[in-house]
Amino acid sequence: MTPAEMAALHAASFTTPRPWNEAEIAALLDGPGCFAALLPGGFALGRAIAGEAELLTIAVDPACRRQGLGRRLLAAFETAARDRGAERAFLEVAADNAAAEALYLGAGYGMAGRRRGYYRDPAGRPVDALVLSRDLPAAGPAGK
pLDDT tens-digit map of 38-97: 999 999 999 999 999 999 999 999 988 888 999 999 999 999 999 999 999 999 999 999
For residue 59, give the H/E element and its range: strand 52-60
What domains does the chain contain, in order, with CATH numbers?
A: 3-135 (3.40.630.30)
pLDDT at position 73: 96
Q: How confident is the model at residue 141 (pLDDT cuts 50, 70, 90)?
A: low
**89 in Cβ contact with 41 (< 8 Å):** no
pTM: 0.88
Name every residue whose Cβ is closer than 8 Å to that of residue 12 and which is 6 or more positions away in sequence: 59, 61, 62
- pLDDT at residue 122 greater than cutoff 90: no
- pLDDT at residue 20 greater than cutoff 70: yes
